[in-house]
Amino acid sequence: MKQDNLKRWYKIIRIILIIVPTLTFLWLVNKNLVPSGKLSANYNLQELSPFISRLYPTGRVLGVEKDKEGQYYQSIIIDPVYFKVHLPVSFQKAHLILKYQTDKVDNFRLGYQVGPGFQYYFKNVVPTEREGFWQVAEVDFNLANAYIKDNKSRFALSSPYLDEQGGEIKINSIEVVLEKEPLGMKDVPILIKKFIKKIF
Amino acid sequence: MFKDTEQKNLIKHFTLEIIDDIFKISAATFLVFALFELWRPGFAVNYLNMNMILGLVLASGMVSLIFKDNKYD
């Protein structure tokens, strides 16, 4: 009897051991395909984001600091400064929300890479609201002609002559909302074909 | 007393079988995720800690190896 019980439990545990990684894999496929068509990512400087890189290069941006209110920020002292956004699939639009402060800054721009080298499409960063001491600006981009390398799109924060004017841009957070057409059942055969083509 | 020893051996054998299965399944899972990661960087590491799966593979593998001969007692 005891042996029969153990055999039954062994079968049940084995089934669970097979189901858990299978479901995890399907969850990962779902996360990477983004069937809803919308992916949001936020980098608040307190912890690393899997989708938004740190600001670089380190010589142009200071280390992460904390202000009196306990808000984390990073100061840009020389422009341009870059960050990369990981794109699990192709997206058509990017909506970026920047929380920042500026000091002695005439022109503050945000752009995305459209070709190799320093080929960027810039838009002016214009604040639309305030959150305490921080200004909030929203910038929209059409990613149709974005230059994507290793599933990453590079963005640049720029303010010409920033170092010469002794200016400073403090970044508190970067939020990115990526959009594409949601996936439907009709897209499944196309996805399977693409996957098989890539393998073989 | 003989029955107690027999039951203990049954449970021990059962536990070692489970640990062996955990090793095989976690190793296969790690391999599949790693292959997908090579194909599409960020596929798994953006959402999971692969080191935990690797730790499970190593721990279950070591236990399986240490108690390998005892399985057939």
Contact partners, residue A108, CB within 8 Å, separation at least 6: A100, A102, A124, A125, A157, A158, A159, A169
ipTM: 0.87
The residue of chain A with its CA nearest to that of B7 is A2
pLDDT 10s digits, A10-69: 999 999 999 999 999 999 999 998 999 999 999 999 888 999 999 999 999 999 999 898
- Gap from B50 CA to chain A (nearest CA, Å): 12
Q: Does B16 contact chain A (CB < 8 Å)?
A: no
pLDDT of B54 above 60:
yes
pTM assigned to the model: 0.80
Cα separation, B58 vs A115, in Å, equals: 44
Residues of B in contact with A27 (CB under 8 A): 47
Q: B40 or A74, which is more confident?
A: A74
C-beta atoms of B26 and A21 within 8 A: yes
Residue A199 within any structural domain of the chain: no
The amino acid that residue A56 corresponds to is: Y
Our count of domains for chain B comes to 1
Residue A192 within any structural domain of the chain: no
Residues of A in contact with B17 (CB under 8 A): 10
The domain in which residue B20 lies consists of: 2-72
Q: Are A75 and A168 in contact, with CB atoms under 8 Å apart?
A: yes
Task: Tell which of B33, B47, B57 to mutate to test the A interface (max A CBs under 10 Å).
Answer: B47
Cα separation, B55 vs A104, in Å, equals: 51
Residue A193 within any structural domain of the chain: no
Tell which residue, A36, A125, A140, has the closest CA to residue A93: A140
- CATH code for the domain in which residue A90 is found: 2.60.120.260
The domain in which residue A13 lies consists of: 1-33
